[in-house]
Amino acid sequence: MAYPQYSIVIPAYNEAARIAGALESVLGCIRSRGWFAEVVVVNDGSRDQTADIVREFAAGAPEVRLLENPGNRGKGYSVRHGLLESFGEIVMFTDADLSAPIEEAEGLFAALRDGADIAIGSRWLERTRQTIRQPLYRQFFGRCFNAVTRAIMGLPYADTQCGFKAFTRAAAQTVFQLETIERWGFDPEILFIARKRGFKVVEVPVSWAHDERTRISYLKDGIRMLQDIAIVRWNAMLGRYNKQVERIHRADLAK
């Protein structure tokens, strides 16, 4: 059985307004660049027509498949579900709004080809690449959260929260089997796990356009993320990130 080189995972919750456009953009990029890739949309218990739109799209696009979460579990759960069920040698996730154009994935893939285990998109390494910037209050809260995260968790990255990350298959299987945070705060946890398990993580500057329809609340979700940071530190003290993980055989996954 021939497995794809790349798996592109898109977590989706109530994305009926933009999922078709996102899939058109991703498929256009895949086909124009000749990537041997699959696109995995993970429906996180959407209450709109997201799943129906993806099914209809997949009927005419063999690269696309749909995974269903058992209800609304959160972005962290969705990304884990998608990446652990993917078939690619390189697996990545991107947000449904495609704030980072999917063409930017080539920079992540290049970093992996050059020896990285994990490549993470960064909005802050080259700020001039932000074509539509966040409002100042969002920039302020985002930078404050990143500073707190770096200080408490020892993460040396300019941008931990960018929803544009790629992994070798081996790195993804290890990191996401150990992930415990199911909602917005999962990004620092997977980076913390990656460093703890000795994976090489490289930041890659990406173009970025802020989408005003983003659902994250820097006040409510920011407080929850701080709680998640405490959970990560507690997990580390208990040795939960030292556990042995299993190899997931692609032949055992449902196509």
pLDDT for the residue 138: 62
Q: Which helix (H) or strand (E) holds 39?
A: strand 37-43
Place of tokens 């999917």: 102
pLDDT for the residue 1: 56
pLDDT for the residue 133: 57
Place of tokens 């749909």: 66
CB-based burial, 99-112: b 16+ in 10 Å, e otherwise: bbbbbbbebbbebb
Angstrom distance (rounded) from CA 112 to CA 214: 29
pLDDT for the residue 209: 76
| Tokens standing for residue 10 | 């898109």
pLDDT for the residue 255: 56
Chain centre distance of CA 21? 19
Angstrom distance (rounded) from CA 18 to CA 129: 23
Place of tokens 């910037």: 133
C-alpha distances in angstroms, 54 versus 6, 45, 48, 181, 252? 19, 13, 12, 26, 24
Instruction: Note whether 189 and 77 are within 8 A (CB).
Output: no
- pLDDT in 10s for each residue of the chain, 255 residues: 589 999 999 999 999 999 999 999 999 999 999 999 999 999 999 999 999 999 999 999 999 999 999 999 999 999 999 999 999 999 999 999 999 999 999 999 999 999 999 999 998 776 666 655 555 556 656 666 777 777 788 899 988 988 999 999 999 999 999 999 998 789 999 999 999 999 999 999 999 875 655 556 655 666 787 888 889 999 999 999 999 999 888 888 865
